Amino acid sequence: MEEGRDDEYCSFSNSGDRDGGLSGCFFLDHVGQVLLSRNHDGLSWKCLDSSDCEGTTCLGIIICENSETEIKFSDIYAVEFVSYGLVHSPKLGLRHAKECFRERLLNTQEMYRFTVHGFQSSPKEPCLWNLAAFTFGHMDLQTCQSWMDQLNYSLIKEVERPRNLLVFVHPKSGKGNGSKVWETVSKIFIRAKVNTKVIVTERAGHAFDVMASIQNKELHTYDGIIAVGGDGFFNEILNGYLLSRLKVPLPPSPSDSFNSVQSRGSSSVPEPGDEVHETDQKEHYPLLPDSVQEVMNFRTVNGSCEGIEDPDHPFSSERPRFGLIPAGSTDAIVMCTTGARDPVTSALHIILGRKLFLDAMQVVRWKTASTSTIEPYIRYAASFAGYGFYGDVISESEKYRWMGPKRYDYVGTKIFLKHRYFPSIFTNLNFQKKTLVEFPPNDLPCFFVQAKHCFFELLIYMLM
Ligand SMILES: Nc1ncnc2c1ncn2[C@@H]1O[C@H](COP(=O)(O)OP(=O)(O)OP(=O)(O)O)[C@@H](O)[C@H]1O
């Protein structure tokens, strides 16, 4: 506390400053008396020492650390009134606690209280966010109310925070605790006053069907779609959303590629004198040679290279927002985005409106087998698409879901012992000495997102 401070702080009054800031004296639960200040980007508080404030010392010991602490509005997810009750003195060591017993009783007072909810990064693992709550007490109800109003007003100005979310919960995800995970984090959403419509899935494909059939008008009422589950579940929701809505040019079919190359001769390397096309498409597909881009351009819908065709698209003004609260067996997407495999951390990221852009990969299978009925067969993947060993492990492991994540190791070993090799899925076409990877002539068994078992699989591939 700076010198020359008015004694009025200690009598719990408030004062404003020229910048519209506000400061006042409060009791911070388990800390002691503090001077609380609100500035343009957050709250800060400073302990008041014994010489300034009666009742904050114990036998001459300053009972709160005289260091300033702060929390930014962008890190606050709720401010709520707590009923009239006790505001506690700081936690002291045992010796001090005994010495100060009588004084502490005196210092523990009943007051009006409000709590500021935010988070603190774990000191050892900064990506891991722990819930943090600061309860401030004041003898005057109106003072508490006015601070709460001011703080809530500041929070409203924090843009891009969701107010309405559609939440899909996979109850059998991972070790079968998807519902429990949602139960834990739903309290944070309630506290932050985020409305959620929750759909607990009853079968595989349930979330896909809802996302594919939901009207854009209804989707428009949500600020985002949340998956509580694993990577496979997230991909199912993503596919349900994108398959019926996203109209993007497809990669060339195998026959298109061959024909295009043949019509240009045996190589697509530009000959001297060839006109070099600096087209828009080149910007979109910088790694593909012109001959292939021409084919892709031909497939462009309505002349636009990418995007969503429907003018009533639910997220026309911005990109669609998806969130993932980890409850799966591997949770690779969460590890690559928030950096912590922790449901609370993910919930906080979602509530505080934190975002990052995630690329989705389009995988197309062209009809070449006589038994294929859908052409083309399209799937989207957010982090990984696998064929052969991966595909077989994932589809087979569904039979052993009761084993939890260990099913991947068990089934992986089983598939490995059963098969010595998988037929190559790649046909390499040499364009400009770069390799264009094309998908296989047979039906792709499945596309799944996996990451954790890389080491295990790497070992297997080395053995083969
Ligand atoms: N109620 C349900 N019963 C059975 N299967 C479901 C249900 N809901 C969703 N599924 C299916 O389970 C698949 C796998 O789910 P999810 O990704 O959540 O779990 P996981 O496989 O344990 O985790 P990870 O993908 O991280 O390994 C999803 O692709 C989805 O189709």
Domain boundaries for CATH 3.40.50.10330 within the chain: 161-246+308-358
pLDDT at 189: 97
Cβ neighbours around 45 below 10 Å, total? 24
Q: Is 408 in the pocket of ligand 1 (CB under 6 A)?
A: no
* Structure-token pair, residue 281: 């498409």
Mean per-residue pLDDT pooled into runs of 10, the chain (464 residues): 39 51 86 88 81 41 54 94 78 52 58 92 93 91 91 87 96 92 97 97 96 92 95 94 81 63 47 43 49 44 39 55 92 92 96 88 72 72 79 84 84 82 50 32 32 34 37
Burial of 312 (0-12, 13-18, 19+ CB in 10 A): exposed
205 alpha carbon – ligand 1 mean position (Å): 9
Q: What is the pTM of this model?
A: 0.73
pLDDT at 377: 79
Q: Which residues, listed in sequence order, are joined to residue 135 by a DSSP beta bridge? A: 115
312: annotated active-site residue? no
127 alpha carbon – ligand 1 mean position (Å): 26
Residue nearest ligand 1's atom 28 by CA: 233
Q: Is 448 in the pocket of ligand 1 (CB under 6 A)?
A: no
Q: Is 173 in the pocket of ligand 1 (CB under 6 A)?
A: yes
Determine the residue type at 250: L
User: Which ipTM value was assigned to this complex?
Assistant: 0.96
395 alpha carbon – ligand 1 mean position (Å): 11
- Using the atom order of ligand 1, give the atom closest to the CA of residue 235: 29
Which superfamily is assigned to 161-246+308-358 in CATH? Probable inorganic polyphosphate/atp-NAD kinase; domain 1 (3.40.50.10330)
Q: Is 203 in the pocket of ligand 1 (CB under 6 A)?
A: yes
pLDDT at 368: 59
The Cα–Cα gap between 292 and 256 comes to 8
Q: Is 230 in the pocket of ligand 1 (CB under 6 A)?
A: yes
Q: Is 240 in the pocket of ligand 1 (CB under 6 A)?
A: no
pLDDT at 99: 52
Class of domain 7-156: mainly beta
Cβ neighbours around 136 below 10 Å, total? 28
Please tell me which residue in 29, 52, 75, 231 is annotated as part of the active site. 231
184 alpha carbon – ligand 1 mean position (Å): 19
CA distances from 307 to 245, 296, 315, 379 (A): 9, 15, 11, 16
The Cα–Cα gap between 138 and 306 comes to 57
Mutate to test the pocket of ligand 1, among 173, 175, 201 (most ligand atoms within 8 A of CB): 173
Torsion of Cα atoms, 221 then 224 then 225 then 229, to 10°: -150
Q: Is 392 in the pocket of ligand 1 (CB under 6 A)?
A: no
Domain boundaries for CATH 2.30.29.30 within the chain: 7-156
pLDDT at 260: 57
pLDDT at 421: 67
Q: Is 157 in the pocket of ligand 1 (CB under 6 A)?
A: no
The Cα–Cα gap between 131 and 162 comes to 19
- Using the atom order of ligand 1, give the atom closest to the CA of residue 227: 18
